[in-house]
C-alpha cells in the first residue's frame, strides 16, 4: 500500500470547519483513500473512503485532487467530540484481502 | 448487533505467563485481524485471517499465535509474555471488496506485562 504523509497535529475552533490534509503521491490506480479516526483509548472508527470522486456522508466530506496525489478530509462543523487522531490510509480494494497500514496520523484538537 | 467484542478489557500478566485474548464478531465477516498499538504510535498488524482455517502473519507476528476455527472467533495467544508485549491490542473484522465500514474495530484489550 502507498505511504501517506499527514501533519502531526492541527487545531480547530469549535463550530468551524476542520480541514485535514493528506499526501499520497505514490498512490496506484486501484488504491482507495480511507479515513479513520481514533478517539482516545477507543478502537479506530471508519469515517469515509473514496477513489477519485469527492465523497460526502453524515460524518465528513472527502476531497481528492484530480491527480489523486493528495486529499482533504473536511469536518464541516467541528465539535469537541471530534478531538481525535485522524488516519489517512490508502488501500487496494478488490476481490482479495488487503491490509490497513496505519501511520501516526494527525492529532486534531478542537477547542471551545 | 454487538459488532466486534474483545475480552478482557484489561489484563496484567507476569513475564513468562501465557494467555489468550478473545475476539468475536457477529457480522459474518470473512476477514479478521489483530493489531497492537504502543504509546504515540499507529496500529501495527500482528496476524490476520481471510477465513476459517486460514491465517497469516502481519508486520509484528513474533511471540503471538492465532487460529481461526470458526468465522466468528479469532483468538490471539501469547505463549510466554514479555514486557515488550505491553500494549493495547485491537481486533478488527471486514468483508471483501468495497464496503462502507471496510474494517470494524473492537474496543481494545489493555495488556501490561510486568
* End-to-end Cα separation, chain B, in angstroms: 36
Interface contacts (A, B; CB < 8 Å): 58
| pLDDT per residue as tens digits for the range B61-109 | 999 999 999 999 999 999 999 999 999 999 999 887 555 447 899 999 9
State residue A22's pLDDT score.
97
B39 contact A CB<8A: no
Backbone φ/ψ region at B84: left (φ over 0), alpha (ψ -120 to 50), beta: alpha
* End-to-end Cα separation, chain A, in angstroms: 37
| C-alpha cell belonging to residue B60 | 509484528
Which of B4, B42, B45 is opposite residue A87, by nearest beta carbon?
Answer: B42
CB pair distance less than 8 Å for B43 and A102: yes
| C-alpha cell belonging to residue B34 | 489483530
Q: CA-to-CA distance for A91 and A77, rounded, in angstroms?
A: 28
- Whether residue B8 has a cis bond before it, omega within 30° of 0: yes
State residue A97's pLDDT score.
72
| pLDDT per residue as tens digits for the range B1-28 | 679 999 999 999 999 999 999 999 999 8
- Dihedral of CA A43/A62/A93/A106: which sign? negative
Max CA-CA distance within chain A? 45
Cα-flanking dihedrals φ and ψ of residue A81, to 5°? -75, -10
State residue A111's pLDDT score.
97
Question: What does each of the 112 residues of chain A score in pLDDT, given as a tens digit?
Answer: 668 999 999 999 999 999 999 999 999 888 889 999 999 889 999 999 999 989 999 999 999 999 999 999 999 999 999 999 999 998 877 656 777 888 889 999 999 9
**Residue B10 near residue B75 (C-beta atoms within 8 A):** no
- 3-state SS, residue A82: helix
Q: CA-to-CA distance for B102 and B107, rounded, in angstroms?
A: 16
State residue A12's pLDDT score.
96
Q: Which residues of chain B does A104 touch, with a Cβ-Cβ cutoff of 8 Å?
A: 40-42
CB pair distance less than 8 Å for A44 and B31: no
Q: What is the mean pLDDT of chain B?
A: 92
Between residues B42 and B52, which one has the greater pLDDT? B52
Bridge-partner residues for A4, per DSSP? Answer: none
**Residue A75 near residue A67 (C-beta atoms within 8 A):** no
Amino acid at each position: 500500500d502507498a505511504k501517506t504523509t499527514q501533519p502531526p497535529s492541527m487545531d480547530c475552533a469549535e463550530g468551524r470547519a476542520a480541514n485535514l490534509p493528506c499526501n499520497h503521491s505514490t498512490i496506484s490506480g486501484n488504491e482507495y483513500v480511507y479515513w479513520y479516526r481514533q478517539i482516545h483509548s477507543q478502537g479506530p472508527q471508519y469515517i469515509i473512503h473514496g477513489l477519485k470522486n469527492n465523497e460526502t456522508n453524515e460524518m465528513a466530506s472527502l476531497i481528492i485532487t484530480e491527480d489523486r496525489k493528495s486529499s482533504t478530509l473536511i469536518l464541516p462543523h467541528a465539535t469537541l467530540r471530534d478531538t481525535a487522531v485522524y488516519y489517512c490510509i490508502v488501500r487496494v480494494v478488490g476481490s482479495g484481502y488487503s491490509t490497513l497500514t496505519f501511520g501516526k496520523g494527525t492529532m486534531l484538537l478542537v477547542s471551545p | 448487533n454487538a459488532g466486534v467484542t474483545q475480552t478482557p478489557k484489561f489484563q496484567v500478566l507476569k513475564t513468562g505467563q501465557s494467555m489468550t485474548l478473545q475476539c468475536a464478531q457477529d457480522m459474518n465477516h470473512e476477514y479478521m485481524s489483530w493489531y497492537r498499538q504502543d504509546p504515540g504510535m499507529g496500529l501495527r498488524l500482528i496476524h490476520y485471517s481471510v477465513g476459517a482455517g486460514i491465517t497469516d502473519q502481519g508486520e509484528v507476528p513474533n511471540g503471538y499465535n492465532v487460529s481461526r476455527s470458526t468465522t466468528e472467533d479469532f483468538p490471539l495467544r501469547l505463549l510466554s509474555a514479555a514486557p515488550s508485549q505491553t500494549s493495547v491490542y485491537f481486533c478488527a473484522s471486514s468483508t471483501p471488496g468495497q464496503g462502507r465500514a471496510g474494517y470494524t474495530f473492537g474496543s481494545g484489550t489493555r495488556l501490561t506485562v510486568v
